[in-house]
Structure 1
Amino acid sequence: MYNLPNFVHQHFDKTAEELGETEKRVLKKAHERKIVSTDINAAFSANASYGERLADGIARVGGSWAFIVCFLLFLVFWCVVNTIVLLTRAFDPYPFIFLNLVLSMIAAIQAPIIMMSQNRQTERDRFEAAKDYEVNLKAELEVLSLHQKIDMQVLTELSVVKEEIAKLSKLVTEKNGASG
């Protein structure tokens, strides 16, 4: 396709040895005429452990309106059962101490799980930004390569036109010399 060391020096202004891993990978893809994979979900999820996938699932459920509504209904049910239905034999009477304990334990477990999921989302965003950089870099390299090809084509055609002009000038000069 092109002289690789010359191409690297022209477009990156450094030697091939000075290129980073990302640039080398993108150059290889460009040289092989292959696309840079942009399926971020599959690429990122492939490296996820069971615990990370579980944390993502818990955060997805715990941060949904369905969970909030269901939990609100559970709290209302708990309060109604322990105040109205079981007036004399309530297992958790009015200040609902046991309910507070359960809610505290749920919050103590759920908060770190949600933080793990948020950290993973941050990693995913960084991964996505890196993939976007690779795609943009490859696109820029392809555009530069096309410019280079067009420039070479124009120079070739220009040299052919110059040769033709020189031949025509020579013919005109010979014709003018022969008729004069």
Structure 2
Amino acid sequence: MKTFVSSISGKTFPITSKVLGSTLRTSIFDLVKEDFPEFSKESLIAASELDGYKEKYISTILKNELGELTRLDQLVIESMNNNQMISASIDQEEVADSFGERIADRVAGFGGSWTFILSFLGFLVCWIVLNMYWLSNKGFDPYPFILLNLLLSCIAALQAPVIMMSQNRQEDKDRKRAQNDYMVNLKAELEIRTLHEKIDHLLIHKEQELIEMQQFQLDIIKDLINKIDKLERSNNGK
């Protein structure tokens, strides 16, 4: 397998990971130049070493704009270097809901629906009618319905913390969604910025190639003109 020696570390790498200094974007090239002043356009660097400088460049941008990097900023930088989607990073952190949490969500969902309101009103009407009319107010819970009041108090006492538990979980989900949106927007902004730099870098190289090509064409034209002049002079001499 063919290899090459990195100009900055002196280590040997596969030839497939070779990157020429002249192909680096100016911002990345300047970062390498800061650590290794002898690094030039003809120097070689490995792709794995280049990834480290890309991460350093992105971190520098974020620090200049946001100050200290947060955990979310670090996740964005890692996802860019690993070519990983933000949603994949979030999915890895998600934990499966416990049995109690699922019950809390279902109770809160049912307790906040018209089905619960109408069914509970029907239950109250049936309870009152049963005790006051069908059992002639001599049933198991005559007026003023002390047992019913106790039952309603117990339901309210149990339902309130369950609903609060579900609301807390919903707030946590909303916070994670907001963090995810922040990371997606930040990554998109950084990728657009690096894309602009890549385009500028390509345009500069293309301009240099066009200038060199034009210069080469001019040299050919000059040679042809000189040859034509020589032929004309030789013909005139005859």
State if a TM-score over 0.5 links the two structures. Answer: yes
The equivalent of 2:59 in structure 1 is 8
1:28 paired to 2:81: no
Deviations 1:121-175 (A, max 9, x none): 1111001101111222222222222212211111110111222333445556674
Structure 1 segments (4+ residues) deviating >3 Å = 38-44, 47-50, 165-176
Please report the TM-score for the alignment, with normalisation by the length of structure 1: 0.81
Task: Give, as a single letter, the amino acid of the residue that structure 1 aligns with 2:81.
Answer: H
Work out whether residues 82 and 91 of structure 1, in 8 Å CA contact, stay in contact via their aligned partners in 2.
Answer: yes
Deviation at residue 50 of structure 1 after TM alignment: 3.2
Task: Give, as a single letter, the amino acid of the residue that structure 2 aligns with 1:68.
Answer: I
The gaps in structure 1 that reach 5 residues or longer are none
CA distance change for structure 1 residues 146 and 50 in 2, over 3 Å: closer, same or farther? same
- Which structure carries more helix by proportion? 1
Work out whether residues 58 and 77 of structure 2, in 8 Å CA contact, stay in contact via their aligned partners in 1.
Answer: no
Question: How many residue pairs were aligned?
Answer: 177
| 1:46-57 matches, cutoff 5 A | 46-57=95-106
Answer with 81-90 or 69-78: which moved more: 81-90
Residue 69 of structure 1 is aligned with which of 113, 118, 128?
Answer: 118
Task: Give, as a single letter, the amino acid of the residue that structure 1 aligns with 2:203.
Answer: V
| 1:1-180 matches, cutoff 5 A | 3-4=53-54, 5-9=56-60, 11-14=61-64, 18-37=68-87, 44=94, 46-87=95-136, 89-169=138-218, 175=225
CA distance, structure 2, for counterparts of residue 43 and residue 119 of structure 1: 18
CA distance change for structure 1 residues 95 and 60 in 2, over 3 Å: closer, same or farther? same
CA distance change for structure 1 residues 165 and 6 in 2, over 3 Å: closer, same or farther? same
Task: Give, as a single letter, the amino acid of the residue that structure 2 aligns with 1:19.
Answer: L
CA distance, structure 2, for counterparts of residue 22 and residue 49 of structure 1: 26
CA distance change for structure 1 residues 39 and 150 in 2, over 3 Å: closer, same or farther? closer
Work out whether residues 108 and 162 of structure 2, in 8 Å CA contact, stay in contact via their aligned partners in 1.
Answer: yes
CA distance, structure 2, for counterparts of residue 25 and residue 62 of structure 1: 38
Identity of aligned residues (%): 42
Answer with 47-56 or 27-36: which moved more: 47-56
CA distance, structure 2, for counterparts of residue 150 and residue 81 of structure 1: 81
Bigger relative contact order, structure 1 or 2 (CA pairs below 8 A, ≥6 apart) = 1
Structure showing greater Rg: 2
Please report the TM-score for the alignment, with normalisation by the length of structure 2: 0.63
Deviations 1:47-67 (A, max 9, x none): 544333322221111112111
CA RMSD across the alignment? 3.0
Deviations 1:13-67 (A, max 9, x none): 45xxx532212222111122121116979965x2544333322221111112111
Work out whether residues 40 and 128 of structure 1, in 8 Å CA contact, stay in contact via their aligned partners in 2.
Answer: no
- Which structure carries more strand by proportion? 2
CA distance change for structure 1 residues 133 and 54 in 2, over 3 Å: closer, same or farther? same
